[in-house]
Each structure stands twice: as structure tokens, then as C-alpha cells.
Amino acid sequence: MEAENIKHDPNRRRFPIASIVLVGFLVIAGFFLILEHRVHLLGWFPFLIILLCPLMHIFMHRGHAGHGPAPKTPEGEPAQRPRHH
């Protein structure tokens, strides 16, 4: 019976105060870190854009020329896939 009372205790907080304080501290620290080091971060943006190109190629072109079976034509014959050069 005591276990049921613990589960439905209205005085129990959803987030402990320590967690709320920690998240607030991290948000404020992150804000000032970005604010004070903005020049350093902006210097890395051209390299991040260049790095983004191969990452987009790897993750966004995943569906091209898949290895599954070729789609069927209305006559029931396998359709030919276009060749990539």
C-alpha cells in the first residue's frame, strides 16, 4: 500500500531543483561562450560549409539507384533503370 502512495505523491516534483539550476547555468554559459567567441566561430564557417558537401552527398543521396528489384512495367516485364555516368 505504501508503494501506491509514493507513486501518487502530489508533493513530489517532476524535475528536481538541482536539474533546473544546472540547465539554467548551461544555457547562460553557452550564451556567453558564443557571445565572447563569435569571431572564432565565424572563422570556421567556410570550412563547415565545405565539410557539409560530402556529408549531404552521403546522407541525402542514399536512395539513388537502390539495390532492390527493378519496378515492373504494366506488361509485367522489369523496367530498365537509367544508367548513371
pLDDT band at 20 (very low <50, low <70, confident <90, very high): very high
Residue 73 lies in a domain: no
pLDDT band at 21 (very low <50, low <70, confident <90, very high): very high
Residues 42-65 have a mean pLDDT of: 83
Residue 66 lies in a domain: no
The neighbour count for residue 79, using CB atoms within 10 Å, is 11
Q: What is the reported pLDDT for 44?
A: 87
Domain tally for the chain?
A: 1
Residue 4 lies in a domain: no
Is residue 70 within 8 Å of 80, Cβ to Cβ?
Answer: yes
CA distances from 6 to 1, 3, 11, 13, 16 (A): 9, 5, 10, 12, 16
Residues 29-56 have a mean pLDDT of: 89
**pLDDT above 90 as % of the chain:** 24
Q: What is the reported pLDDT for 28?
A: 97
Residue 19 lies in a domain: yes
Tell whether the model's pLDDT for residue 33 goes beyond 80: yes
